[in-house]
Chains A and B, each alone.
Chain A
Amino acid sequence: MSLDPRINRLDLKRVNDGEQTASHLVTWEVFHQEKRGKQPVHAGIVHASTPEQALMFAKEQFARRGKTANLWVVKTADVYTFNSEDEAIFETTPEKTFRDPAFYKVRERIEAFQAKNKL
Chain B
Amino acid sequence: MYGNTSLTAEEAKVMNAAVEDPEKLAVFEARITRGEKIEPGDWMPEQYRKQLIRMIEQHAHSEIVGALPEGTWITRAPNFRRKLALIAKVQDEIGHGQLLYSAAETLGKTREQMLMDLLSGKSKYSNVFNYPAKTWADIAVIGFLVDGAAIVNQVINSKGSYGPYCRALERICYEESFHLKQGHDNFVYLATGTKVQREMLQEALNRWYRPLLHFFGPSDRDSQHSEKLMKWKVKLASNDDMRNQFLDQYVPKIYELGLTLPDPELRRGDDGIWVFGDPDWDEFKRVINGDGPCNAERLEVRRYAELAHRWVREALINPKERYVTPMA
Contact = CB atoms under 8 A, between A and B. Distances in A.
Interface string B32-51: 00000001111100000000
Contacts of A35: none
A5 to B, nearest CB: 7
B91 A79 contact: no
A10 B314 contact: no
Interface string A9-48: 1101010111011011111010000000000001011111
A84 B27 CA distance: 14
B322 A17 contact: no
A95 interface: no
Contact of B132 (A3, A12, A61, A79): A3
Nearest to A78: B324
Which secondary structure characterizes the binding site on chain B?
helix
Interface stretch (B11-19, B108-116, B182-190, B240-248): B108-116
A50 B318 contact: yes
A110 to B, nearest CB: 43
B95 A61 contact: yes
A85 B42 CA distance: 7
A8 to B, nearest CB: 10
B321 A76 contact: no
A63 to B, nearest CB: 11
Contacts of B297: 2, 4, 7
Interface stretch (B55-63, B140-148, B298-306): B298-306
B324 A23 contact: no
A9 B307 contact: no
A64 interface: yes
A84 B297 CA distance: 44
B323 interface: yes
Given A6-B301, A25-B313, A49-B321, A84 B326 contact: no
B112 A4 contact: no
B204 interface: no
A34 B171 CA distance: 16
Interface residues of B, number: 52
Contact of B314 (A7, A21, A44, A53): A21
Given A4-B72, A26-B321, A76-B326, A20 B116 contact: yes
Nearest to B307: A12
B307 A23 contact: no
A16 B308 CA distance: 11
A84 B39 contact: yes
Given A21-B317, A48-B316, A84-B39, A77 B324 contact: yes
A77 B133 CA distance: 43
A2 B72 CA distance: 10
Nearest to A84: B41
Interface of A: 2-7, 9-10, 12, 14, 16-18, 20-21, 23-27, 29, 42, 44-50, 53, 60-61, 64-65, 76-77, 79, 81, 83-85
30 contacts: A3-B132, A7-B297, A7-B301, A12-B308, A16-B307, A16-B310, A18-B120, A21-B112, A21-B310, A21-B313, A21-B314, A21-B317, A23-B317, A23-B323, A24-B317, A25-B316, A25-B317, A26-B322, A27-B105, A27-B323, A29-B327, A45-B326, A49-B317, A50-B318, A53-B316, A61-B95, A64-B88, A76-B326, A77-B322, A84-B41
